[in-house]
Amino acid sequence: MSFISLEGVGFTYPESSRAALKDISVSIGEGEHVAIVGRNGSGKSTLLRLLDGLRTPTQGRVEVFGLCTGDGSNLPAIRSGLSLVFQAPVDQIVSSVVEEDVAFGPENLGLPRAEIKGRVDKALRAVGLEAERKSPSLFLSAGQQQRLAIAGALAMEPRCIAFDEATAMLDPEARKDLLGRIDELNAQGMAIIHATHDMSEAARASRILALEDGRLVFDGLPGDFFFPGGSGLPAPAERLGFGLPPALRLCRELGIEPRLGESLERLAARIAASGAAIGDAYGAASMSHNDGASHEAPRPAPGEAGDPVGPAFALEEAGHSWLRGTANERVALRGVSVCLQPSSLVAVVGRTGSGKSTLLQLLDALAFPTGGRVIAFGQDTLAKGTDLRSLRMRAPLCVQRPEAALFEPYAADDVAFGPRNQGLAGKALVARVREAMDKAGLDYDLFRDRGSRGLSGGEKRKLALAGVLALDSEALLLDEPTSALDPETREAVMALLAGHAASGRTVVFATHSMEEASRADLVLVMRGAELVASLPPRELFHSAYDPAWGIARPFAAAMAIALAATGIEIQGQPLTLGELVSGLKGSLAGDGGRAKEGAG
């Protein structure tokens, strides 16, 4: 009897003509740690739903613990042994009180009350939420809510937990915490199935399944996935377009042996140990600059474009409270003062709930300061006589998950909503919509008449972006524009933003990715409703960095610090892999030269 097995499994959603999964045959053993990788819409979530019997295959057979998922009477046994943790933390909470939510599964199993209590206590202890057991579950942070979801799963005492992109909506700290807990559970013998499109996360598993367009295109060890085989072909991860985790890319660039799951410190030590060899090998090594940042067109320095004008946005001691005057009042911003120059790319970073979204809403006059002032394009957003409608259109905000706000049945009509409100019509309107859609990466001729609800997740996000681009505004505000996207679509969105800023507009975006933040001209760090730093990324992530901010460093910066600890000082405070490698080249060539002299 196998633990989990799929034989020739195919699945087509009833409302779709396209198969979501095609001819999948695979088996997973007890205690394995399997990562399922694939782009948005490749079938990862569908596969997990088939395992749990939430969906039954339209072809083939799924067996879990030797039980067929197609037989409804098997489902309680399957679901109590295999738990699912979903992507959106808040959407999987059933009860309003933490401990009651954990008890929900055991209650459904009809267990005696004393046993439920024991299981709830144990599960809460395992995820470190004992102190919050009586708290309202909706007021937990996103990271805590995801831990609550795990507690709910653990209370079922399962043999396997499947995570469906469970880290996609978390900030870096919460993500690190969750990944640590996943490893811990696996070490205790729990089988883990982890669907993700983050290659660093996938590299932690002991086996990788890759899906492309509903087909299983790779099943094997992470080493075979990330390292090139003997045949001279690139590694499957690259061939299939997933890319490599940054540490492995660095190893390849330096021509040293790649190792999975290696800490930055160990890697730094290895680089230091083989320093001279790297310096020598360097001339032959090919350097591919696919870092994005190094490719971008040089931007006019912020504030230099055009006539000398005032800042695009200025906040003066601005504060904001949500639910003011209610029992649940929450201070979201406190005493924030900052000036944002025209034609600059500004990143806003900080943990979940630190005030990023509120800040963006104040800039767009969608929320108003409850203390201090917000000046957008020289106008006080609270002043009488401010034309809010036109002010908002000068700096439209792309809200989180903007695809939720699509409403026109046809793609091009949705994009046209903004320009129509600006008074455009006829040829000018069509031209504007065409330009915006093309810029967002949706070919106008191909997509204009497509149904907006039938698009894939990534396409919907691009359509929503086209909708704000179509306003051709002086500034653009975006709340986590790349969240939950696969790496390829992420890169497309970031290139779009950088290009937009390069054309002389102000772009302000919130993000959890420090790699993205390091591409900005200015980074604002929020912590607990306060602005704790506003600096160019090079300074922010190197000399001024403070771990108390609760944000990580981009890989290149963190690596440079680790290398510095081994005695290799890298010039120029690198932020991208390209900069790191050329910096290393510089310092190792120097060291290598000295080493040779010494040997001679």
Partner 1 sequence: MKDLEFFRNISIGQYSSGDSLLHRLTPATKYLWLFALSIPGAVGGISGVAMVLLLALCAGRGAGIRPAFLLRGVKPALPFFVLAAFLQFLFGWPGDHSAALFTLGPLSATAREAAAVGMAVARTVALMVLLGVFTSITSEGEIAHGVEDLLDPLARLGLPVHRLALVVSATFRFIPVIAGELESIVKAQASRGADFGTGKGGPFARARAYLPLIVPVTVRALERAEVLAEAMEARCYTGKDRTRWVVYPKVRGEDAIRALALVFCAAAFAVDALLR
Query: Which parts of 411-450 interact with partner 1 (CB under 8 A)?
Result: 417-418, 420-422
H or E element at residue 523 = strand 522-527
Question: Tokens standing for 34?
Answer: 């399997």
Interaction between residue 460 and partner 1 (CB under 8 A): no
Stretch that binds partner 1, among 188-196, 400-408, 493-501, 584-592 (CB under 8 A): 400-408
- Of 14, 112, 189, 283, the one binding partner 1 (CB under 8 A) is 112
Residue in the structure block whose two tokens are 């944002």: 340
Interaction between residue 70 and partner 1 (CB under 8 A): no
Alpha carbons 172 and 8: distance in angstroms, whole number: 38
Question: Tokens standing for 322?
Answer: 């949500």
Alpha carbons 255 and 277: distance in angstroms, whole number: 9
Judged by CB, which is closer to partner 1: 407, or 443? Answer: 407
Contact 251, 542 (CB under 8 A): no
Interaction between residue 230 and partner 1 (CB under 8 A): no
Stretch that binds partner 1, among 102-110, 372-380, 500-508, 591-599 (CB under 8 A): 102-110
Q: How far is the CB of 40 from partner 1 (least distance, A)?
A: 16
- Of 22, 39, 44, 79, the one binding partner 1 (CB under 8 A) is 79
Residue 424 CA to its chain's centroid (Å): 36
Q: How far is the CB of 568 from partner 1 (least distance, A)?
A: 48
Interaction between residue 385 and partner 1 (CB under 8 A): no
Q: How far is the CB of 130 from partner 1 (least distance, A)?
A: 17
Interface with partner 1 in residues 518-557 (CB under 8 A): none
Interaction between residue 43 and partner 1 (CB under 8 A): no
- Of 103, 211, 247, 485, the one binding partner 1 (CB under 8 A) is 103
Judged by CB, which is closer to partner 1: 97, or 168? Answer: 97
Q: What is the CA radius of gyration of the chain?
A: 26
| Amino acid present at 6 | L
Strand partners, 410: 451
Q: How far is the CB of 397 from partner 1 (least distance, A)?
A: 4
Interaction between residue 106 and partner 1 (CB under 8 A): yes
In 3D, which of 299, 371, 311 has the Cα closest to residue 519?
299
Judged by CB, which is closer to partner 1: 65, or 104? Answer: 104
- Of 187, 273, 309, 388, the one binding partner 1 (CB under 8 A) is 388
Sign of the CA dihedral running 456, 459, 461, 464: negative
Alpha carbons 321 and 315: distance in angstroms, whole number: 16
How many positions of this chain bind partner 1 (CB under 8 A)? 77
Stretch that binds partner 1, among 27-35, 36-44, 363-371, 431-439 (CB under 8 A): 363-371
Residues contacting residue 348 through CB under 8 Å, at least 6 positions apart: 356, 359, 360, 508, 509, 510, 511, 523, 524, 526
- Of 26, 109, 264, 430, the one binding partner 1 (CB under 8 A) is 109
Interface with partner 1 in residues 131-150 (CB under 8 A): 136
Q: How far is the CB of 26 from partner 1 (least distance, A)?
A: 21
Question: Tokens standing for 185?
Answer: 């559970």
Judged by CB, which is closer to partner 1: 119, or 197? Answer: 119
Alpha carbons 312 and 303: distance in angstroms, whole number: 9
Alpha carbons 360 and 356: distance in angstroms, whole number: 7
Stretch that binds partner 1, among 173-181, 246-254, 385-393, 439-447 (CB under 8 A): 385-393
Residue in the structure block whose two tokens are 């579950």: 137
Interaction between residue 326 and partner 1 (CB under 8 A): yes
Give the strand order in the sheet containing 67-68.
19-28, 4-12, 59-64, 67-68
Interaction between residue 84 and partner 1 (CB under 8 A): yes
Judged by CB, which is closer to partner 1: 299, or 356? Answer: 356
Judged by CB, which is closer to partner 1: 131, or 327? Answer: 327
Interface with partner 1 in residues 463-482 (CB under 8 A): 464, 467-468, 471, 477
* Residue-wise DSSP of 286-340: ------SGGGSPPPPPTT-SSS----SEEEEEEEEEETTTSTT-EEEEEEEEEEE
Sign of the CA dihedral running 359, 311, 349, 458: positive
| Amino acid present at 175 | R
Instruction: Report the Cα–Cα distance between both ends of the chain, in Å, rounded.
Output: 65
Distance of CA 435 to CAs 445, 470, 555, Å? 11, 8, 35
Distance of CA 256 to CAs 249, 277, 287, Å? 10, 9, 14
Interaction between residue 83 and partner 1 (CB under 8 A): yes
| Amino acid present at 384 | K
Judged by CB, which is closer to partner 1: 25, or 421? Answer: 421
DSSP state of 74: G
Judged by CB, which is closer to partner 1: 291, or 414? Answer: 414
Q: How far is the CB of 179 from partner 1 (least distance, A)?
A: 21
- Of 396, 537, 583, 592, the one binding partner 1 (CB under 8 A) is 396
Residue in the structure block whose two tokens are 């917000």: 374
Interaction between residue 361 and partner 1 (CB under 8 A): yes
Residues contacting residue 237 through CB under 8 Å, at least 6 positions apart: 199, 210, 225, 226, 243, 244
Q: How far is the CB of 405 from partner 1 (least distance, A)?
A: 4
Interaction between residue 15 and partner 1 (CB under 8 A): no
Q: How far is the CB of 408 from partner 1 (least distance, A)?
A: 8
Judged by CB, which is closer to partner 1: 61, or 117? Answer: 117
Interface with partner 1 in residues 150-209 (CB under 8 A): 152, 156
Judged by CB, which is closer to partner 1: 102, or 520? Answer: 102
Judged by CB, which is closer to partner 1: 110, or 283? Answer: 110
Interaction between residue 36 and partner 1 (CB under 8 A): no
Q: How far is the CB of 55 from partner 1 (least distance, A)?
A: 10
Residues contacting residue 377 through CB under 8 Å, at least 6 positions apart: 312, 313, 391, 394, 395, 474
Per-residue x/- marks for partner 1, 267-306, CB under 8 A? ----------------------------------------
Q: How far is the CB of 152 from partner 1 (least distance, A)?
A: 6
Q: How far is the CB of 101 from partner 1 (least distance, A)?
A: 9
Alpha carbons 369 and 520: distance in angstroms, whole number: 26
